[in-house]
C-alpha cells in the first residue's frame, strides 16, 4: 500500500505544532520549508540516494521517511549537502589510507687516524651511517555519487632517533614528529588522488668494532618511524568542522598527542 505524502505532511505539521508548544527545540534541528509556506523542524537521520528518500527525526523522536522533492530547493540542497557529509564520514564511501614509502637512502662513512703497533698511522673508516628518507603517500578515494569539496588534511608523522650521549656510554632516544598540511579543493565523484607528506629522515650509525677508542667504545645510533596520524576536515552544513582521524598503523592511536 502506497504512502500518501499529503497525509504524512499533515501529521508532521501537527507534531511540529505540538513540539513547539512544549518547547522541545534542539540545536541540531533544521527548519524544512514546503512550497505552500508550511514548515517542519527535524534533523536528518539518513539519506538513501538510491531510493530518493530522506529519513527525518522530529522533535518528539519519531522518524519519518519522505522524498526531498516535497521541500523548497534550498532545503533540497541542504539534504544533498548533508548526504555528502555522510559520505565523508563513511570509510566505505570515502576511503582514506596512508602508506609509508622509502623515498631515498644513502650511506656516509667517517674516517679517522688509526695507530698500529708498528708505529704507523693511517686513515681508516671507523664508522658508517645509513640514512633513510621516508614519505607517506596519502590516498583519497571518493566512492560517493557527489563530489567532496574543501578538504583540509593535517598530519603528524611520529618517529624516534636514538643518539649516543656526550660520554659515549648510552643511547639517548628523542621522540620527534614532522607536521604538515595539505588541501584538496574538490574531489569528484568516483575519483581518487594521491598526496605526499613531507619527508622524515632517520639514521643508523655503526662503529668499527675492531678498533680501541679513547674514552671507551662509542654508542651506535638508530632511528625508527613509528607512524602517521592524519586528520581530515571539511565544513559541516552548519559551518562547523567535521573531522575524521586516520592512524597508520592503528596501534598508535592514543599513544601520541596532537
Burial of 182 (0-12, 13-18, 19+ CB in 10 A): middle
> 70 and 52 in contact (C-beta within 8 Å)?
no
pLDDT at site 257: 94
Residue 15's pLDDT is what?
A: 38
Residues in the chain, how many?
A: 258
What confidence score (pLDDT) does residue 17 get? 37
- Asked whether 202 and 223 are in contact (CB, 8 A), the reply is yes
For the chain, helix, strand, coil in percent to 5 are 15, 55, 30
Q: Which three cell numbers stand for residue 186?
A: 574538490
From first to last of its 258 residues, what are the pLDDT tens digits of the chain?
444 555 545 554 443 333 333 222 333 689 999 999 999 999 998 888 889 999 999 988 999 999 999 999 999 999 988 887 888 988 999 999 999 999 999 999 998 888 888 888 888 888 999 999 999 999 999 999 889 999 999 999 999 999 887 666 788 999 999 999 999 999 999 999 999 999 999 999 998 877 777 766 788 899 999 999 999 999 887 787 889 999 999 999 999 999
Q: Backbone dihedral region of 254: left (phi > 0), alpha (psi from -120 to 50 degrees) or beta?
A: left
- Domains defined for the chain, CATH in brackets: 5-89 (2.30.30.140), 95-252 (no CATH)
Task: Please tell me whether residue 92 adopts helix, strand or coil conformation.
Answer: coil
CB-based contact 50:42 (threshold 8 Å): no
Q: What is the pLDDT of residue 157?
A: 98
Q: Given this model, what pLDDT does residue 83 score?
A: 83
Per-residue model confidence (pLDDT) at position 20:
34
Cell numbers at 192, concatenated: 581518487
All three cell numbers of 10, joined, read 499533515
Q: What is the pLDDT of residue 9?
A: 53
Give, in degrees to the nearest 5, the angle at Cα 189 between 183 and 194.
Answer: 40
pLDDT at 166: 64
DSSP 152-213: EEEEEEEEEEEEE-TTSSSEEEEEEEEEEEEEEEEE-TT-EEEEEPPPEEEEEEEE-TTS--
Q: In terms of Cα–Cα distance, which of 244, 248, 220, 256 is closest to 135?
A: 248
Amino acid at each position: 500500500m502506497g504512502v500518501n505524502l499529503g497525509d504524512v505532511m499533515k501529521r508532521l505539521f501537527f507534531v511540529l505544532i505540538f513540539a513547539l508548544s512544549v518547547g522541545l527545540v534542539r540545536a541540531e534541528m533544521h527548519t524544512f520549508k514546503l512550497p505552500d509556506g508550511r514548515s517542519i523542524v527535524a534533523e536528518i537521520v539518513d539519506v538513501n540516494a538510491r531510493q530518493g528518500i530522506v529519513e527525518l527525526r522530529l522533535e518528539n523522536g519519531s522518524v519519518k521517511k519522505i522524498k526531498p522533492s516535497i521541500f523548497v530547493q534550498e532545503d533540497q540542497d541542504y539534504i544533498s549537502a548533508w548526504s555528502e557529509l555522510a559520505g565523508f564520514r563513511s570509510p566505505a564511501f570515502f576511503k582514506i589510507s596512508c602508506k609509508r614509502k622509502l623515498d631515498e637512502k644513502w650511506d656516509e662513512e667517517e674516517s679517522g687516524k688509526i695507530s698500529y703497533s708498528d708505529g704507523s698511522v693511517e686513515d681508516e673508516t671507523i664508522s658508517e651511517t645509513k640514512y633513510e628518507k621516508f614519505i607517506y603517500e596519502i590516498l583519497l578515494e571518493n566512492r560517493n555519487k557527489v563530489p567532496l569539496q574543501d578538504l583540509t588534511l593535517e598530519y603528524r608523522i611520529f618517529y624516534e632517533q636514538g643518539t649516543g650521549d656526550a660520554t659515549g656510554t648510552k643511547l639517548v632516544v628523542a621522540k620527534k614528529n614532522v607536521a604538515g598540511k595539505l588541501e584538496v579543493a574538490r574531489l569528484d565523484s568516483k575519483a581518487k588522488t594521491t598526496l605526499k607528506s613531507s619527508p622524515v629522515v632517520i639514521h643508523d650509525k655503526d662503529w668499527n668494532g675492531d678498533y680501541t677508542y679513547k674514552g671507551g667504545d662509542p654508542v651506535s645510533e638508530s632511528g625508527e618511524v613509528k607512524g602517521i596520524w592524519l586528520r581530515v576536515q571539511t565544513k559541516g552544513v552548519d559551518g562547523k568542522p567535521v573531522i575524521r582521524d586516520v592512524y597508520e598503523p592503528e596501534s598508535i592511536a592514543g599513544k601520541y598527542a596532537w
